[in-house]
A and B are shown apart, each in its own frame.
Chain A
Amino acid sequence: MKTRELYYVDGAVPQSDAPERSPRPWGRTRVVGRPLPRIDGYERLSGAAVYPSDVVLPQMLYGAIVRCPHAHAKVTTVDAGAAAKMPGVRAVITGATPAADLRWYYSPTVVTKLFDPECRFAGEAVAAVAAETPQQAWDAARAVAVEYELLPFVVDEHKALAAGAAAVQPGGNRVGEPVRYARGDVAGGFAAADKVLEATYSTAAEIHTPMELHGCVASWDGPRLTIWESTQGVYPVQQRVAAALGMPLANVRVIGRYMGGGFGSKLQADKYDLAAAVLAKLAARPVKLFITREESFVCVGNRPPMTMRLKAGVKSDGTLTALEMTVLGTGGAYPAGGTSLADWLVRDLYLCPNVRTEMTDVFINGGPARAFRAPGHPQGAWALEQMMDALAAAIGMDPVELRLKNIPKVSQARGGQPYTSTGLDRCLTEGAAAFGWSQARRRAKADGPLRRGVGMAAGMWVAGGGGPPSTIVVKLFADGSANLNMGASDLGTGTKTVMAMVVSEELGVPLDRIEIENADTGTTQYATASGGSKTVPTESPAVRDAALAVKRQLLAIASDELKAPAEALRIEGDEVVSSADPAARRQIARLEGLQRRGVLVGVGTRGPNPEGKIVNPVAAQFCEVEVDTRTGVVRVLRFLSANDSGRVMDRLTYESQVIGGITMGIGLGLTEQRVFDRQTGTMVNANWHDYKIPTAMDVPADIVAVPIETPDDEANTAGAKGLGEPVTIPTAAAIANAVYDAVGVRVLDSPISPMRLAPLLSAARQGGGR
């Protein structure tokens, strides 16, 4: 699925030419698939890696942004006079500064300004300052006197469409028409069911909060601008900044070789880029502008909260007969995909002939959403996978068995196109076996206040197949060492390591002799932002193509010198050898032709995906929890994730993705929620003390990755599908199901905090439950 939303580009998704030839699938590999430590581990562990927030330039100033404290207000006056005169202050910009009069758009029709006179959420940018030290910048930011005319606001999405609700946008609070989907005969499906269940589920808004703050360092060199940005994609940032400032793309260089986490919130440029660039221009000095942790909770994205009504019909043999879902969500004050993909699992995870969904996205006076690790999917899984658990209980069937009854081999929501591969059944059966599911289900829950339970859930990711464009350059030096040049960012998923392994696989170069240059619009090739679990399936085939282009040249040189046909030659260690004549061999570094050329250059591109087929990764997860029935505290004791993401590229970083996805899912399930104060419309827990992400105390040490490894050779020439998102889709739902197994209470709203669970347990006890 190639949408602008998933690729985060303005306008059409660029294309790269298809490779001239398509190599055979790898079959058995020598390097790819091994558990190798990160190629840039030394840099990250020694402190040598320079992250964008580490950049310190001579004469550099520090920037700070003045933000609106009100949920909805009109800026009437901004008096920056006092601030401009404060010690160390070198530039102050407001909506009245000509150089800062810049357009900022959320969609082709919703256009605002860098400092818009109307602030639609608490946290909108109003002005910015640059000073010699960050302390002086903040002193000045606090001294900018802003007068606001307060406007009515709405921060509860359930009230956004009510009569008399404050209008967030001039056209009202609907973000377009509801998104509707239907297939089959839903009423007939429910009529044919033996059991029909209905429930309303909700997930709280979740905030990304990557460890490295959002921000950049902006530096001008006459008409040229260089931006060091903590980003998932240097090219989308370049595109947006150049367009906003009316500059040639060539004059905006964006560098992001290292970055400290994004999870979808760093796929795009932000207003702080423009503020930093304008401040730097006016002050004629470089400006470092990283937002504060508190700001990171309100103005750089969130996972939209969703309310999902789901009705499901099942026959007593486990056949699903109908699914009907209505979703209400909000992406905040601007169009930002408030219900994006929330119904996808209902549409396509299980075989079901009759499906109807309707999703309504509304505006509230909250910070705009951004893509967050599998947009919409963990929310949809929270509803669907709890419903599947309830259906299984209703018909007296094992939850794994019920899912196995309903495995599709085609994408029902995409015209019945077949999947290139789907290991959902294997994820379920092999995952259950490795977890000891049947035995654990039979185990007693214990009689004391601590009750144990097990739960499971499955999932798929709508994308994860990647695709063009991607262009890669591989250089082989005269001594046989190599340089890999790619535009993609490594978010910490291990992209650089995996790509170096692909080069090593084809050219035999050991990893410590491969240098990687990446994520720099000035020196590396075009790449879309790293996200959508598409980086490995997008980039590795292009890397392979580039390495093979080098290999062809190398073997042609060797063929001349060894007087052997190129087809009979292969690379073995640091030598080229002939399969026909074992005596015909030469060290790569001693090939005269290579010495003469000095360097061989191979350019590779990403070929198209197979026509008429769908490439999606799938997963099943299993967990065990312990619930303290006195306090409502849930402890996750162990987790197992069985994933079909095609070929395993690096077994070690693969496992890291799995434990990371599960950890993040534990946050969604148990602790994370944005809380708005209904009186003021501002977020009251915009910090890590009050908004609790999982700590070392909250996650099990026992997290097992079970790769269901079926190289997907039809999908692409690396055989790999995406992994980073599928690993977090079923997690929260699996926990909710385990809690139900433990205490017989179904928690329909996330997170399952003690505050929420304790009253439910108490009510269950009073109602004669256990």
Chain B
Amino acid sequence: MADDRDDSETTPAKGVSRRGFFTAVGAGAIGAATLAKAQPGAVAPLAAKEEPATITLVVNGRRRRLLAEPRWTLLFVLREKLGLTGTKVGCERGECGACTVLIDGTPRYACMTLALEAVGHEITTLEGLMHGEELGPVQQAFLAEDGLQCGYCTPGQVMAAEGLLRANPEPTLDEIRLGMSGNLCRCGAYAHIFKAVAKASQLRKAAGGEP
């Protein structure tokens, strides 16, 4: 097909009202406002949904600079632009947790986070839990207890477990359940996931609490 027209990626910016921004991105903008308040100096710029902006994300300790549309989710950018496909896409509506990443150490749904909102925050993905080529303790525990089946929800489960254990290094079974309740597993591996999180708690402790 001929590339005979300009795409919006290259269209110059037009004036955008604050109202237009909220209309364009919906509820995500509320999150942006909240995050921005918590982190002065990291205010997400207002822009049209298709107008690309250069942003810098800190992912797994590295700064990644890219051109992103304001409507792009962190999930989309991680997977399709940065090649970090350890983060999975399950629903894109905040229901399943397959896209769970850590933002400043706390589990968050990457599908409900705009890439712009993540600017100025530390993002950790499944790949960021690796010790070089070695699995980290939570990953090792999931392997040993078979806390996975098809493996597609697994990266999200691992990130949720990592976040839980950072906040609560020795959770009870009820705390594990609650901590993992934002992550669906259709293969139904939950009973093994509970065991895996308990084992991960021990492995992390043995490793001195390091992720």
Q: Which residues of A are in contact with B by a Cβ distance under 8 Å? A: 37-38, 41-42, 44-47, 49-51, 53-54, 56, 85, 87-88, 90-91, 132-136, 208-213, 258-261, 263, 282-285, 290, 292-293, 491-494, 652-653, 655-656, 659-664, 687-689, 693-697, 699-703
Contact = CB atoms under 8 A, between A and B. Distances in A.
B84 interface: yes
A211 B191 contact: no
A47 B85 contact: yes
B8 A54 contact: no
A687 B143 contact: no
B76 interface: yes
Interface in B183-211: 183-195
A697 B7 CA distance: 47
Contacts of B155: 47
B140 to A, nearest CB: 8
Given A47-B84, A659-B191, A210 B135 contact: no
B184 A695 contact: yes
Interface string B149-186: 11111110010000000000000010011101101111
B83 interface: yes
Contacts of A697: 177-178, 181
A293 B183 CA distance: 15
Contacts of A492: 148-152, 187
Contacts of A41: 142-143, 146, 148
A310 B76 CA distance: 51
B95 A211 contact: no
Contacts of A37: 143-144, 146
B139 interface: yes
B53 to A, nearest CB: 15
Given A45-B154, A493-B149, A88 B8 contact: yes
6 contacts: A37-B146, A44-B148, A50-B85, A663-B185, A697-B177, A702-B191
Given A45-B143, A260-B150, A664-B186, 20 more contacts: A45-B135, A45-B139, A47-B125, A51-B88, A87-B9, A88-B7, A91-B1, A134-B76, A211-B88, A211-B96, A211-B150, A212-B90, A260-B153, A293-B95, A491-B150, A659-B192, A660-B188, A694-B190, A695-B181, A697-B178
B190 A663 contact: yes
B91 interface: yes
Contacts of B98: 211
B148 A696 contact: no
Given A37-B144, A492-B150, A292 B71 contact: no
Contacts of B139: 45-46
A56 B91 contact: no
A568 to B, nearest CB: 40
A706 to B, nearest CB: 15
Contacts of A491: 149-150
B32 interface: no
A87 B148 contact: no
Interface string B116-158: 0000000001110010000100010011101011111111001
Interface string B69-101: 101100010011001111111111101101000
Contact of A660 (B69, B85, B149): B149
Which of A282, A290, A293, A662 has the most B CB atoms < 10 Å from its CB? Answer: A293
Across the A-B interface, the 10 shortest Cβ-Cβ residue pairs: A47-B86, A663-B188, A260-B152, A492-B150, A44-B151, A492-B149, A54-B85, A688-B95, A660-B188, A293-B91
Given A37-B146, A54-B85, A699-B190, A45 B1 contact: no
Given A653-B146, A697-B181, A47 B152 contact: no
B107 to A, nearest CB: 13
Contacts of A85: 5
A569 to B, nearest CB: 36
Contacts of B142: 41, 45
B1 A656 contact: no
B184 A211 contact: yes
A133 B194 CA distance: 38
A656 B192 contact: yes
Contact of A45 (B87, B148, B149): B148
Contact of B189 (A134, A656, A693): A656
A257 to B, nearest CB: 12
A259 B150 contact: yes
A73 B179 CA distance: 46
Given A210-B150, A699-B190, A87 B84 contact: no
A687 B153 CA distance: 17
A293 B105 CA distance: 28
A132 B9 CA distance: 10
Contact of B190 (A54, A56, A285, A659): A659
Contacts of A687: 91, 93, 95
A688 B143 CA distance: 27
B193 to A, nearest CB: 7
B135 A42 contact: yes
Given A45-B135, A492-B148, A659-B192, A56 B92 contact: no
Contacts of A699: 188, 190-191
A37 B143 CA distance: 6
Contacts of A259: 150
A696 B147 CA distance: 12
A92 to B, nearest CB: 10
Contacts of B80: 56, 134
Contact of B186 (A88, A91, A292, A693): A693
Contacts of A695: 181, 184, 190
Contacts of B150: 210-212, 259-261, 491-492
A44 B126 CA distance: 11
A696 B92 contact: no
A184 B194 CA distance: 50
Contact of A655 (B72, B146, B186): B146
B152 A293 contact: no
Contacts of B185: 211, 663
Given A283-B1, A492-B150, A662-B188, A53 B89 contact: yes
Contacts of B135: 42, 45-46
Contacts of B190: 659, 663, 694-696, 699, 701
Which of A51, A132, A258, A702 has the most B CB atoms < 10 Å from its CB? Answer: A51
A669 to B, nearest CB: 13
A135 B72 contact: yes
A616 B200 CA distance: 39
A696 B1 contact: no
A694 B96 CA distance: 11
A45 B142 CA distance: 8
Nearest to B180: A696
B148 A260 contact: no
A46 B86 contact: yes
Contacts of A664: 186, 188
Interface in B96-116: 96, 98
Which of B98, B126, B154, B188 has the most A CB atoms < 10 Å from its CB? Answer: B188
A430 to B, nearest CB: 21
Nearest to B95: A688
Contacts of B83: 56
Contacts of B176: 696
A701 B173 contact: yes
Contacts of B173: 701
Contact of A90 (B1, B76, B96, B187): B1
A87 B8 contact: yes
